[in-house]
Chains A and B, each alone.
Chain A
Amino acid sequence: MFHWLEQRPFFFAVGVFLVFSFAGIVEIIPNFAKQAQPLVGTKPYTVLELAGKNLYIKENCNSCHSQMIRPFKSETDRYGMYSLSGEYAYDRPFLWGSKRTGPDLMRVGNYRTTDWHEHHMLDPAGTVSGSIMPKYGHMFSNIVEIDNAYGEAVTVKKVFNTPYDYDIDGDGAVDVPLGSYEEAKAHAFSQAKEIVADMKSESVKDAIVNGEIPEIVAIIAYMNSLK
């Protein structure tokens, strides 16, 4: 049979493709749709948090930080409750990472503050003695445009029914508002102002007053949302 196949490239290729496809089909088809259902109470990212998440991807933070707490006592003691599938329902792409050069960040919002992040991003080794993390001073001067995040939020709302402008927990109020571009921008600024209130950098405060959001504000918004 094999010798027969080796003289007939078409059937050989079909054979290879079938043998190759088997695992993918068995692994993906049975419950692919169910796996990414949100937990009760899981909310999508606000536009500012989404902008921060895009910065997290841009700087490739996930090459050194995981967002996956495994169900071991040594991990739950260190990072908090182990991860559940539904918590990632709005993570496109997933950011579990594959290497912990730095600690896990899945629930960093529970135990680090805006103030801590501000110091740490500027001077990691000055905050955690011996840290090998690069300095991210440029995030204090670079300005983030929320257009990208807004475009992404609109896209996932329409295509994947991500619950923006929706009463998720049934308390009668919209949980994560999106609205028009102007409304989204206004929401982003009001969230940015809350964060900046806890920060020390004068230049960052000035930027917000001048209608610009420095990258550091967006990344802190994202860090604080990780709970």
Chain B
Amino acid sequence: MQASTRVEYDYSVVKAFTFTTILFGIIGMLIGVILSFQMAFPSLNNLAGEYRTFGRMRPLHTNGVAFGFALSGIFASWYYISQRVLKVSLRESPFLMKIAKLHFALYFITILLAVVTLILGISSGKEYAELAWPLDLLVVVWWVLWGVSIFGLIGIRRERTLYISIWYFIAAFLAVSALYIFNAMAIPTALFSGYGDFMHSVSMYAGTNDALVEWWFGHNAVGFVFTVPLVGMIYYFLPKESGQYIYSYKLSIVSFWGLVFVYVWAGGHHLLYSTVPDWIQTMGSVMSVLLILPSWGSAINMFLTMKGEWQQLQTSPLIKLMIMASTFYMLSTIEGPIQSIKSVNAIAHFTDWIPGHVHDGALGWVAFMVMAALFHMAPRIFKKEIYSRSLIETQFWLQTIGIVLYFSSMWIAGITQGMMWRAYDEYGSLVYSFIDTVNVLSPYFTIRAIGGLLYMIGFFMFAWNMYKTVTAGRELEKESPNASPIAAR
């Protein structure tokens, strides 16, 4: 521990990414709430002409929360955790400091450009990979910069053994590099033919092949952006905040290598009963079920880390956030495999159960973990006490209720619609026309929108709490080794 007292960590880039986490969180969630109300009350679609239809705004929501909010939180955590577990400060290397700052600047510019181009409808048409080719190139540049930062900091480290969190960040970096580049392969048509818009491109793959590459990417973008770095984060923040050792090193090894191996196969479960080869569908299904093992391995390791210290759930709202995040991680990693079983998927696919599942993970696991990470880092990077304890408590319950409303309504909506689509009467004809199966969903859409709204209000409380911490929090003289200091107001 001597080294840590000597090293002066540099948090300038952490602060910058903390800011964008909150900014893009607010924008992304606000758009999400608008979208959910549009589904319940469709007249909200045409309030601002063509720019506010569901179709135009949906990529803004998905890209905003995934690559704006969550990724910012991941980068903030990386620049914080890496310095501490590698026992090296960014200040020691002016080169890496510049790289980190450039990483932030290019990232921020890309996301802002993404907002503009997506609202204009400039899209590649591939889900979660909608950005136009020049933006894809920008993404590659700052992703490589992040890689330089990762391996650069590792290169000058004082702590020889790489801590578990670092494993996960390395995996996220490598996997997303490969996924993103292969999926985004396209030919800019204007450059090639001399006709049309500069931003327009055509995919290198056609039809079934394109689908295969897209869901190999799409599923693993979820895996290696939304899961892998987040697991790395909880492996650092939970033991730090609670003062407990990680329960099992062996379990962490099995979970890590298991996850990296199994996750990639699971993309096939997005393509069940489609025109991709049967064996890929079956592998997707089988591997998805197998994925329970490494996912639950990490989550159980987290729960067992709290062994004997469960009273901290009462005393520390941050522990509560992280344990709830782990719980939702377990829920969504059992729900996903269930949906991947072919006979269940026959009903669930194309229905609202799927966005319901995504939001279990995104709201319950990813966003809870990101907020807990930001709360843990705030007193250490700003040297201020967290502004309000009661705000965190209220936020926690509002958001938890929001998530429950969200996924329970989407369970019901999805299964209802899936069953109605396949209902036959005694004469062998379909019972319901398509619109019947839409109209029946209206109350569930409303409940979901209210759930989303509650969650967003909770997020605003989080943002306000962070803002007040920076501007009005009590100054801290020395850093707390474990439980983050929170003012009792």
Contacts and interface: CB of A to CB of B under 8 A. Distances in A.
- Which residue, A35, A88, A148, has most C-beta atoms of chain B within 10 A? A35
Interface in B194-211: 194-197, 200, 202-211
Interface residues of B, number: 90
Given A58-B121, A61-B55, A149-B196, A134 B45 contact: yes
Contacts of A160: 206
A131 B54 CA distance: 14
A111 interface: no
Contact of A131 (B56, B162, B350, B435): B435
A180 to B, nearest CB: 11
A125 B174 contact: no
Contacts of A77: 429-430
Contacts of A203: none
Interface in B38-96: 38-39, 42, 45-46, 49-50, 53-56, 58-59
Interface string A18-38: 011111100110011001100
A135 B46 contact: yes
B346 to A, nearest CB: 7
B280 interface: yes
B125 A95 contact: yes
Contacts of A151: 189-190, 192-196, 200
Nearest to B210: A94
Contacts of A6: 161-162, 167
B355 interface: yes
Contact of A134 (B53, B175, B270, B439): B53
Interface on chain A toward B: helix, strand, loop, or mixed SS? helix
Contacts of B194: 151
Contacts of A150: 193, 195-196
Interface residues of A, number: 87
B260 A20 contact: yes
Interface string B244-286: 0000000001000100110011001010011111001001000
A96 B422 CA distance: 20
B160 interface: yes
B123 A58 contact: yes
B246 to A, nearest CB: 14
A60 B56 contact: yes
Interface string A94-137: 11111111110000000000000000000001001111111111
B203 A130 contact: no
A94 B216 contact: no
A71 B424 CA distance: 16
Contacts, number: 256
B424 A74 contact: yes
Contacts of B335: none
Contacts of B195: 147-148, 150-151, 154, 181
B1 interface: no
B126 interface: yes
A204 to B, nearest CB: 17
A153 to B, nearest CB: 8
Given A28-B216, A132-B438, A134-B53, A92 B206 contact: yes
B48 to A, nearest CB: 11
A99 B354 contact: yes
Contacts of A209: none
A131 B193 contact: no
B208 A72 contact: no
B115 interface: no
B178 interface: yes
Contact of A59 (B121, B175, B210): B121
B250 to A, nearest CB: 9
B46 A9 contact: no
A131 to B, nearest CB: 6
Given A88-B206, A148-B200, A155-B202, A66 B42 contact: no
B264 A22 contact: yes
Nearest to B215: A98
Contact of A64 (B54, B193, B204, B214): B54
- Which residue, B151, B350, B435, has most C-beta atoms of chain A within 10 A? B350
- Which residue, A54, A98, A128, A149, has most C-beta atoms of chain B within 10 A? A98
A68 interface: yes
Given A12-B162, A159-B187, A93 B125 contact: yes
B260 A31 contact: no
Given A16-B170, A93-B126, A94-B210, A72 B346 contact: yes
Contacts of A94: 206-208, 210-211, 214
9 contacts: A35-B275, A74-B421, A85-B207, A85-B276, A90-B206, A130-B438, A134-B45, A135-B45, A152-B200
Interface of B: 38-39, 42, 45-46, 49-50, 53-56, 58-59, 121-127, 151, 154-155, 160-162, 167, 170-171, 174-175, 178, 182, 187, 189-190, 192-197, 200, 202-214, 216, 253, 257, 260-261, 264-265, 268, 270, 273-277, 280, 283, 287, 346, 349-352, 354-355, 421-424, 429-430, 434-435, 438-439
